[in-house]
Amino acid sequence: MNTDAAEQKDPLTGAILRAAFEVAGTLGHGFLESVYQRALAYELELAGLKVTREVPFKVKYKGREMGTYLADLVVEGSIIVELKAIDAAIGLPQISQCLNYLRASGLKTALILNFGRPRVEYKRVALT
């Protein structure tokens, strides 16, 4: 899969996608999300990137904390990576989830990666 367009737009996104394709090519599909999370974090670390797993972000409503959500991965402190292992295409529910995560975290970019299909799928989500 060609990531040239993604790399030109955002080199960090391109690096994450290369790592995801490596993980998908090595493991295939059919594992639990947690396996892909660990494998992708390791692959990103091998690429020299700073990765934090299960990063907590507080969800606030009218200034009051309502709960906490855990981002699967945060890469270089700037991109949320939301992992899925579902046998369905990435759709509106996953995109909406990432938009909420971005609002809660204050970050601007997220990648949804779905390892649950024969080929890894991805969607870049950004707040403007």
Q: Which of 76, 82, 95 is nearest to 54 (CA)?
A: 82
Q: What is the CATH number of the domain that holds 99?
A: 3.40.1350
As beta bridge partners, residue 71 has 55
The DSSP H or E segment spanning 87 is: none
The tens digit of pLDDT for each residue in 36-70 reads 999 999 999 999 999 999 999 999 889 999 999 99
Number of domains within the chain: 1
pLDDT value at residue 91: 93
Output the pLDDT for position 1: 37
Domain span including residue 97: 4-126
Dump pLDDT digits (tens) for 14-37.
999 999 999 999 999 899 999 999
pLDDT of residue 8: 57
- Which of 29-33, 73-77, 79-83 is predicted least confidently? 29-33
